Chains A and B, each alone.
Chain A
Amino acid sequence: MIRDIGAETITKTVARLFQEANFDLGEDVLDSLGRALEAEESPLGRDVLEQILENARIAKEERIPLCQDCGTAVVFLEVGQDVHITGENLYAAIEEGVRKGYEEGFLRKSIVTRPFSSRTNTNDNTPPVIHTRITDGDRLRIRVMPKGGGSENTIHLAMLKPSEGRRGIVEFVVRVVEEVGGNPCPPTIVGIGIGGTAEKAMTMAKEALLRKVGEPNPEPEVAELEAEILKRVNDLGIGPQGLGGRITALAVHAEVFPTHIASLPVAVNLQCHSARHKEAVL
C-alpha cells in the first residue's frame, strides 16, 4: 500500500529538527559529558567540561544555539519504498525546511557559494547536504545533523594497503587525532568508516556519529576495535579543548562495509563535543 506524505509536513519537520538540534543537546551526550567530568583528572579539563555542561543548560533554557557555528545542514533520509511524496519535490521540501528553521531559530547561516573565489553567503544556510537510502515500508525517517566547520575540517581519509590491516587502522586514527589536537573541539566522538570505496568510507564515518554516544558496534570484533582506539586516543593526553587531560574522546564509533581485494579504505570524521542531531519518523 502506498502512503502519502505531504511536502509541507516534511518542511515543517526539518525546520523544527534543526532548531531542536541546535538548542537541545541529546541526553546521551549530556550523560557522556557527565561521566567525562567524573573521570577527568586535569583541573583545567574539569573546568572546561563544567562550562560545556553549563552551556548546554543555557542553550536549552534560552533557545540560544549551543555553538555559534550552527553547521552545514546535513540530512540522512531513509525513504520507505511505499512512500509517496505529495506536493513539492522531496529535496526541495527539505531545503525549504532548512531555510525556515535557520531563519526562525536565529541560527547562523554559514554556507557560501563559489568556494574558491567570491565565497558569497547564501544567507539561508542552503543548500543542505542530503544522503538518501531507500528502505522497506511506508515511513520516512529524517535525521538531521548540523555539522560544524571546525570539526569537519579535521576529517582524514587513508587508502591503506590490505597488508596494513587492523594495526594500520589503529595507528592511522590515533595519528589523525594527535595531529588535529584541540582544533575539532575535544572531547570528540571519533567516527570511523572502514571498507567500501573512498566515498562510502566517508559517508559511514559521518553516519557513525549519529549512533547513541558510546553504544558499541553490534559486531564484537568491531566493538573491540572501537574500545582499543578509544583507549589509545585517550592516552594521548590532549584532553578537553586540547588543554591537557584524560578525556580526548567520549567514544569511538566504527562502521564497516565489504571492500575491494586491493583496498582498505579508512575514513575518520571527528564530531565536536556539541554532538547535535535529531530525528523524526513520518
Chain B
Amino acid sequence: MIKNVASPLSDKEIEGLRSGDRVLVTGIIYTARDAAHKRMVEALDRGEGLPFDIKGQTIYYTGPSPPRPGRVIGSAGPTTSSRMDLYTPRLIEEGLRGMIGKGGRSPEVKEAMKRYRAIYFAAIGGAGALLSSSIENSEVIAYEDLGAEAIRLLEVKDFPAIVANDIHGGDIYEEGRAIYRRKVV
C-alpha cells in the first residue's frame, strides 16, 4: 500500500507513518544540502533568523543539475543525509518536521526526531531523472550564490519516498538489514 503525504506535515500524519511505508509526497518542500546547512546553523549561532520559516517544513537534501530550457529543474535525486547530521538536531529544534535524503542517520538525529516528532524519508539515490518528474515548480529563495546548493522552494506532486525513520523508533536501515542478513557459516 502506498500512503499519500502532504507537506508541510501535520502531527497526525507524522504519527501514522511507520518505517518501511511507501509514500507519495505532495506539497511544498525546501532544498538544502551541505553549504546551506552550514550557513543556516551559523546564522542561528549569531542569533539571526533563517531565510525561511522552517516550522512544520520538510527539507530535501539535493543539489539539482541545471534545467534544460523549458524545464522546471534538472536531475534532482537525494544526496547522502549523514553529512547533514551535525546540523540537523538544531534545525529540528527550530521546527523542522520532515527530511528527505538517503542513507542512515546519527543517534543524535534519531533522538531529536523522537523528541520533537520529526520524520525522515529515503528517496532513491541515483534516480534523479525519475524524481525530477515529480517536481512541478522550483524557485531559488535564498543563498543564490551557492548555485546547485542554494535553497529552493519546490512544489512536488506524488514524489516517491520510503519512511526510513519514524517517531516510534523505527529504522528501515536496521530492520531491512536484519531480515535479509545471512550468518556466515
Residues of chain B contacted by A239 (CB below 8 angstroms): 176-177, 180
Q: When chains A and B are docked, how far (Å) is the Cα of A236 from the Cα of B177?
A: 7
B46 in the interface (beta carbon within 8 A):
no
Residues of B within 8 A of A119 (CB): 35
A14 within 8 A of B: no
Give me 20 A-to-B residue pairs in the complex whose CB atoms sit less than 8 angstroms apart, sorted by A's number.
Answer: A54-B130, A55-B124, A59-B75, A64-B128, A66-B126, A67-B75, A68-B63, A68-B79, A68-B148, A69-B63, A70-B75, A108-B63, A110-B148, A182-B125, A183-B80, A236-B177, A238-B176, A242-B102, A243-B162, A245-B180
B79 (CB) vs chain A CBs: closest residue = A150
**For residue A59, which residues in chain B have a CB less than 8 angstroms away from its CB?**
75, 129
Residue contact A273 to B103, C-beta cutoff 8 Å: no
Instruction: Give Cα A235 to B131, complex, Å.
Output: 30
Please give the distance in Å from B15's CB to the nearest CB on chain A: 22
Chain B residues whose CB sits within 8 angstroms of the CB of A181 once the complex forms: 103-104, 173, 177
Query: Is B138 positioned at the interface, with any CB of A under 8 Å from its CB?
Result: no
**A108 and B64 contact, CB distance less than 8 A:** yes
Question: Looking across the interface, which residue of chain B has its beta carbon closest to that of A56?
Answer: B129
- CB-defined contacts of A274 to chain B, threshold 8 Å: 126
Answer yes or no: A159 CB below 8 A from chain B CBs.
no
Question: Which among B3-11, B65-73, B89-97, B108-116 touches the partner chain?
Answer: B65-73
Q: Among A65, A185, A245, which residue has its beta carbon within 8 angstroms of that of B102?
A: A185
Across-interface contacts of B104 in A (CB, < 8 A): 181-183, 242
Q: Mark A160-174, 1 if CB is under 8 A from B, else 0.
A: 000000000000000
- A47, B173: Cβ atoms under 8 Å? no
B12 contacts chain A at the CB level, 8 A cutoff = no
With beta carbons under 8 angstroms apart, the residue of B35, B130, B147, B181 that contacts A58 is B130
The 0/1 profile, CB within 8 Å of A marked 1, for residues 107-147 of chain B is 00000000000000010111111111100000000000001
A47 x B22 contact (CB < 8 A): yes
Number of contacting residues on B, CB 8 A? 48
Question: Chain A contact residues (Cβ within 8 angstroms of B): what range?
Answer: 35 or more
CA separation between A41 and B180, bound complex, in Å?
Answer: 9
Chain A residues packing against B (C-beta within 8 Å): 41-42, 44, 47-48, 51-52, 54-55, 58-59, 62-70, 106-110, 119, 121, 123, 148-150, 153, 181-183, 185, 232, 235-239, 241-246, 272-274
Task: Judge whether A66 and B68 touch: CB under 8 Å.
Answer: no
Q: Which A-chain residue is minimally distant from B76 (CB atoms)?
A: A68
Shortest beta-carbon distance from B45 to chain A in Å: 19
- B residues contacting A by CB (< 8 A) are 20, 22, 35, 62-68, 74-77, 79-80, 82, 102-104, 122, 124-133, 147-148, 160, 162, 164, 172-173, 175-184
Q: How distant is B178 from chain A, measured CB to nearest CB, in Å?
A: 7
**B74/A65 in contact, CB under 8 A:** yes
Residues of A within 8 A of B130 (CB): 51, 54-55, 58
3 shortest interchain CB distances as A-B pairs? A244-B176, A237-B181, A237-B180
Partner of A68, one of B64, B173, B182, B184: B64
A236 close to B128 (CB less than 8 A): no
Q: Which residues of A sit under 8 angstroms from B66, Cβ to Cβ?
A: 106-108
- Closest residue of chain B to A182 (Cβ to Cβ) is B103
Q: CA–CA, A243 to B179, complex, Å? A: 10
Chain A neighbourhood of B178, CB < 8 A: 237, 244
Give Cα A168–Cα B66 distance, bound, in whole angstroms. 44
How far is B23's CA from A96's CA once the two chains are assembled, in angstroms? 43
- Name the distance in Å between A143's Cβ and chain B's nearest Cβ: 21
